[in-house]
Amino acid sequence: MSLDPDLTSIQEARDLLKAARAAWETWRNASQAEVNRVCAAMAEAGYQASERLGRLAQEETGYGVAAHKKLKNEFASRVVWESIREEKTVGVIHHDPQRRLYEIAWSVGVVTALVPSTNPTSTTLFKALIAVKARNAVVFSPHPSARRCSYEAAQTMAQAAEAAGAPKGLISCMQQVSLPGTNELMTNRLTSIILATGGTAMVRAAHSTGKPAYGVGPGNVPVYVDRSADIEKAARYIVASKAFDHSTICATEQAVIADRPIAAQLKSLMQAQGAYFTTPQETAALRRTLFHPDRSMNVGVVGMSAEYVAAVAGFSVPAGTRVLVAALSKVGSEEPLSHEKLTTVLAWYEADGWEQGCDTSIAIIAAGGMGHTQIIHANDEKVIMAFGLEKPVFRILVNTMGTLGAIGLTTGVMPSLTLGPGGLGGAITGDNITARHLLNIKRLAYETTPPPPAAFSPGEASAVPTPAQVEQVVRQVMNEILSSNHPKN
């Protein structure tokens, strides 16, 4: 008898959650030394497996560049661990003597972690590390097209954790992946919180379960290049960042906004770095190729090289082309290419001064990246601060790559592969998600101020109801009961 795959997936989700809950019951009592020992072992195992897992991810999904995925895996293990290693996640984590207040860490429970196909192994390594650091268990639901590599990443972390003393079942990953199975994982009573990284539909589903959820929105990231910028550096960074892993990180540059006085120079320098500027006919072909009539993106070109995308669109580009750049004049629903493109295609706009560059940036963000990320290349601090104050995003990156800056590899923001877009983007935080977001904090608070005298006043006694008033209330309640039992036809 063949088993229904959806029922099998649901049962697997329940089994993994049950094992995770049992493991958490033990792990939540771990000491800080035990937590750090286990996490250090996990980080090292993930780092050592980075190349193998990067190759598996590229082979299974067809997306991106294996060497770039290796770098992301190294970041998700060693760099993330370095950022949280000294963080207290057990017992008293803060004491304020003046306020006579103690803050005590408390684990959340079982984390359900959704994994995207664009960054499957790095996201798995990262989420496993921050969950376990906060003394939680974690169960992964991978994207069906990245099932094998995500499972391998989870197993790498699970085996290292168990060898270092963690209970079996603390880290696990579904293999029988289906939509009903993932839904069971998210809605089951044993799940405490959801970490949702992936497409808009999946993130919305996570937010609609009734469970606490950290979700990310789409990143439609504009990069403004001001006349005060180091133009050569900007050109080099933009092309390299957009080409990195074939644009599968949500914080990758999506549109260049060039200050008009330096636009020609920037274009020439980007061409020297491997950017190909398309003709109007080729731009029209890209619109048809990248997006379906309903404006959803064609997954057949996600995470593909510029040469591949051009070939699918029906035109050829010089060997060594790294990104395709399409000059546009409109933003929003009338221009599909002004939206997020998880592939090697950049939009190009020109602006007369930083004020117009600011307006164009906001329009692009409003078209699909509210709350996410803005990049600016400039040396004029007034312009930089104006962008920082005015943009409706929670990461404003200055003179760096979008891909590596937003995740915290080349900037001082918290290293993370889950980037919150805040309330603007439909999420509960604009932070880079890390271990502290998977902790609950108890407060042990001593009295610091005596109660005021009025607190001890007996107050006025409530009036005693009369028999008639009591009878009226009883009659009203009985009428409501009878009415609910005998609905009208």
Report pLDDT digits (tens) over 72-85.
999 999 999 999 99
Question: For 443-485, how does the pLDDT look when each residue is reduced to its tens digit (9 = 90+)?
Answer: 999 999 999 998 998 877 778 888 888 888 888 888 887 776 5
Candidate list 39, 149, 173, 250, residue with the active-site label: 250
pLDDT for 489: 41
Evaluate whether residue 31 is within a structural domain.
yes
Q: What's the burial of 433, exposed, middle or buried (CB within 10 Å: 0-12/13-18/19+)?
A: buried
pLDDT confidence of residue 485: 58
CB within 8 A of 461, min separation 6: which ones?
Answer: none
Count of all residues that appear for the chain in the document: 489
Q: Are residues 226 and 371 in the same domain?
A: yes
Looking at the structure, tell me whether residues 141 and 206 fall in a common domain.
yes
36: nearest Cα among 216, 166, 204: 166
How far apart (Å, rounded) are the C-alpha atoms in residues 191 and 429? 20
Whole-number Å distance between alpha carbons of 222 and 22: 46
Looking at the structure, do residues 275 and 379 belong to the same domain, yes or no?
yes
- Asked if 186 and 276 sit in the same domain, the reply is no
Domain that holds residue 18: 5-216+433-442
* HSE-CB of 202 using CA atoms within 13 angstroms: 25
Residues 274 and 332 in one domain: yes
Give residue 372's Cα distance to chain centre.
10
Confidence label for 1 from pLDDT (cuts 50, 70 and 90)? low
| Overall domain count for the chain | 2
Domain identity same for 212 and 226: no
Are 377 and 272 found together in one domain? yes
CA distances 147 to 40, 57, 102, 152, 370, Å, are 26, 9, 43, 9, 30
| Token pair listed for 427 | 């999420």
Residue 481 lies in a domain: no
Is residue 393 in a domain?
A: yes
pLDDT at 204: 78
Radius of gyration of the chain (CA): 27
Mark whether 149 is an active-site residue.
Answer: no
Does residue 282 lie within any of the structural domains?
A: yes
Residue 487 has pLDDT above 60, yes or no: no
What tokens were used for 417? 């592969």
Residue 201 pLDDT: 74
Shared domain for 211 and 262, answered yes or no, is no
Q: What percent of the chain has pLDDT over 70?
A: 98
Indicate whether this model's pTM tops 0.85.
Answer: yes
H or E element in which residue 255 lies: strand 253-259
Whether 424 is covered by a domain: the verdict is: no
Decide: helix, strand or coil at residue 66. Answer: helix
Are residues 165 and 132 part of one domain? yes
Determine the Cα–Cα distance for residues 164 and 41; give it in Å rounded to an integer. 7
Q: 147-193 pLDDT, tens per residue?
A: 999 999 999 999 999 999 999 999 999 999 999 999 999 999 999 99
Of 109-123, 320-334, 453-467, the poorest mean pLDDT is in 453-467
The CATH number covering residue 130 comes to 3.40.605.10
Q: Is residue 489 part of a domain?
A: no
Average pLDDT for the chain = 94
Task: Report which DSSP code applies to 247.
Answer: T
- What is the four-CA torsion angle of 243, 246, 249, 250, rounded to 10 degrees? 90
Taking only the tens place, the pLDDT of each residue in 180-195 is 999 999 999 999 999 9
Residue 458 has a pLDDT of 84
Rounded to the nearest 10 degrees, the angle between the axes of helix 280-290 and helix 306-313 is 90
Q: pLDDT tens digits for 276-323?
A: 999 999 999 999 999 998 888 999 999 999 999 999 999 999 999 999
Alpha-carbon gap, residue 450 to 298, rounded angstroms: 65
Tell me: do 313 and 399 sit in the same domain.
yes
Span 389-407, pLDDT tens digits: 989 999 999 999 999 999 9
- The answer to whether position 330 is within a domain reads yes
Distance in angstroms (rounded) separating the CA atoms of residues 336 and 345: 12
What band does 256 get if pLDDT is binned at 50, 70 and 90? Answer: very high
Same-domain check for residues 120 and 166: yes
**CA-CA distance, 324 to 322, in Å (whole number)?**
7
Task: Give me the CATH number covering residue 278.
Answer: 3.40.309.10
Q: Looking only at Cα atoms, what is the longest distance across the chain?
A: 94
Confidence check: pLDDT of 488 > 50: no
The closest alpha carbon to 240, from 270, 218, 200, belongs to 270
- Inside any domain, residue 469: no
Closest CA to 161 of 38, 22, 21: 38
Is the domain of 247 the same as that of 370? yes
